Structure 1
Amino acid sequence: MASSIETSKISGHFRSISLPSKSHPLTTTVEEHLSRLRSLEAASSSSSASQSLGELESLYDCIGDLLQLPLTQQALSHLRSPTEESLEGSLKLLDVCGNVREAFSQMKECVQELKSSFRRRKRGDSSLAFEVEAYINARKKMNKVITTHLRSLKKKGPKKGSHNEATLSILRQAGEISYSVFRSLLGFLAMTSASTKPRGWSQVSKLLEAKRVSCDGGEETDEVQGLDTALLSLRMSKDINNQVGDLSKQLEALESSIQEIEEDLECIFRRLVKLRVSLLNIVNH
């Protein structure tokens, strides 16, 4: 099965190399995942971002299987230069995915620290106001890092290769959509400015809400709606302790959502590692 024919000159003779066909079942499945990811990207909603994480995992599972096909390995081994470019691109993707994971890990630490201070609170204990202020300051520092990552993402991305071989095209498209998903995730954690309320916390908590809705059959709810505003105004409140109960529940829900996102990112990271190993084996074969 072949969609095009490449030739390589070996010992004065030309040998035909059959490339994986675009009609191959795995290639078709990959194209379907890419199509759904593009649709979710266009929708640009919290639930679509949730589905994007799952689709991205499935996409790289299929790509991993595609790279194990002998026909694919044979084809890419004779396209050394563009395959090496894909190998280089896989390293950049791993770096970006690692940065996103670290950002969510830091966010979870901020939430956990504030939750702990709420649990330790004593009515009238002024240290609670200090903890809230510390949390807000930590978010501002984290926002600077996120902003740097977002700027860096504008400079990164898969190279626009000219080769039309099916697998290389798929790898480029997968890289492009991956960068888009990672940018969205970082955007959810970003703040509008160092002195205003964070944006997207409600979106973060809703990233995986679609999964819960599909399981429960219930309506999607915003677990942390208004949490950003509440925390920023809390430091000015005279009855700070009276508001802790509700905020603790909101922080608990947010931590749970972040944990799920981290788990998905960990799965994607492992798949990217596997992708890089497969490409490395092909290049060194």
Structure 2
Amino acid sequence: MDSLPSNSNKSFHVRSNSLPSKPHPVVDEVDENLCRLRASEEATSSSSSLCQKLDRLQDLHDSIDKLLLLPLTHQALIDNKSVDELLEGSLKILDVCALAKDVLSQMKESAHELESALRRRKDDKIDVQKYLNSRKMVKKAIQITLKGMKKTNFQKSDESSEIVGLLKEAESITYNSIESLLSFVAGPNFPSKKSRWSLVSKFIQHKKVVSKDEDTNGNEVEMLDVALYQITNHKSDFLGRVEDVQNSLRKLESCVRNFEEDLESLYRRLVKNRVSFLNILNH
């Protein structure tokens, strides 16, 4: 009879340690940010939706920075075999984010040069072709990158702690979001006459249906590409088409500027997170 209380106490002690405790508020914050991003993953990509996603990614990585300062996170990472994978993933995201920044910088420079050329109205055809050649280089660089990017889908593992699982999912969503941004910026290809006229038709309908003030959800990259295609393939009414290109240029430059600002803010947060990862491992 004397051994029963002892065993009972031991059993209670083990069970109380195994019961899940109330999640830390910061863990809840990370999970809530992930939920918002999950809900937008399948949404059709537009400049406004991508900017919103980049804003949410900044919120996510702000909360991750707070998570990485918690002692319970330090313990979870030190005791887990997935730390090397997380470090490799954070470096991969920084690399692709840096590439996206370079692409946007090149696009902004080319758009500015084209805008200046159209204002001068000298050697119009040559200057437009210069921009198109730059676009081809950007497209090629992005396409090579996208081919090398393996779509990552987060798979929850029973072996991973909750915190490690959240960090892995955050990496996956961030990586996929930047991939979506690159796909948007790459814009359309013109592989055949049929697809060309399809895009031209889309551009014309876009102009008829959507007013300038309401035009917030179109693909600014695609619209400019099509407007320039029209100029280079229709020698007549050049000046009449220049206005379309200038309008499309203004929208593209605004779009690129927003992307750049959001991407730069995200990049700083990603660097900060990686430094926190390294600090945890070096202690």
TM-score bin, normalised by smaller chain: 0.7 to 0.9
* TM norm structure 2: 0.77
Give the C-alpha shift of residue 235 in structure 1: 1.5
Query: 1:169-208 to 2 correspondence within 5 Å?
Result: 169-193=165-189, 195=191
Question: What's the % identity of the aligned pairs?
Answer: 43
Query: 1:90-169 to 2 correspondence within 5 Å?
Result: 90-121=90-121, 125=122, 127-154=123-150, 163-169=159-165
SS of the residue 2:41 aligns to: helix
Per the alignment, residue 251 of structure 2 pairs with 253
Give the C-alpha shift of residue 117 in structure 1: 0.7
Tell me if the contact between 2:76 and 2:163 (Cα under 8 Å) persists in the aligned partners: no
Question: Is 1:270 equivalent to 2:271 in the alignment?
Answer: no
The structure with more helix, counted as a fraction of residues: 2
d(CA) in 1 for partners of 2:96 and 2:267?
10
Tell me if the contact between 1:234 and 1:240 (Cα under 8 Å) persists in the aligned partners: yes
Tell me if the contact between 2:77 and 2:83 (Cα under 8 Å) persists in the aligned partners: yes
From the CA coordinates, give the structure whose radius of gyration is larger. Answer: 2
d(CA) in 2 for partners of 1:49 and 1:70?
34
SS of the residue 2:82 aligns to: helix
Give the C-alpha shift of residue 167 in structure 1: 1.7
Aligned length: 246
Give the C-alpha shift of residue 77 in structure 1: 2.6
Tell me if the contact between 2:152 and 2:176 (Cα under 8 Å) persists in the aligned partners: no
Tell me if the contact between 1:40 and 1:49 (Cα under 8 Å) persists in the aligned partners: no
Per the alignment, residue 239 of structure 1 pairs with 237
Tell me if the contact between 1:40 and 1:52 (Cα under 8 Å) persists in the aligned partners: yes
Deviation per residue, 1:124-176 (Å, 9 max, x gap): x4x11111111112111211111011011127788976632122111110111
The alpha-carbon distance between structure 1 residues 277 and 21, as it changes in their structure 2 partners (threshold 3 A), is farther
Runs (5+) with no aligned partner, structure 2:
1-16, 203-212
The alpha-carbon distance between structure 1 residues 219 and 153, as it changes in their structure 2 partners (threshold 3 A), is same
Tell me if the contact between 1:54 and 1:264 (Cα under 8 Å) persists in the aligned partners: yes
Question: Is 1:85 equivalent to 2:85 in the alignment?
Answer: yes
Tell me if the contact between 1:96 and 1:182 (Cα under 8 Å) persists in the aligned partners: yes
Per the alignment, residue 31 of structure 2 pairs with 31
Q: Which structure carries more relative contact order (alpha carbon 8 Å, separation 6+)?
A: 2
Give the C-alpha shift of residue 74 in structure 1: 3.1
Q: Which letter maps to 1:153?
A: M
The structure with more strand, counted as a fraction of residues: 1
Runs (5+) with no aligned partner, structure 1:
1-16, 203-217
d(CA) in 1 for partners of 2:102 and 2:159?
35
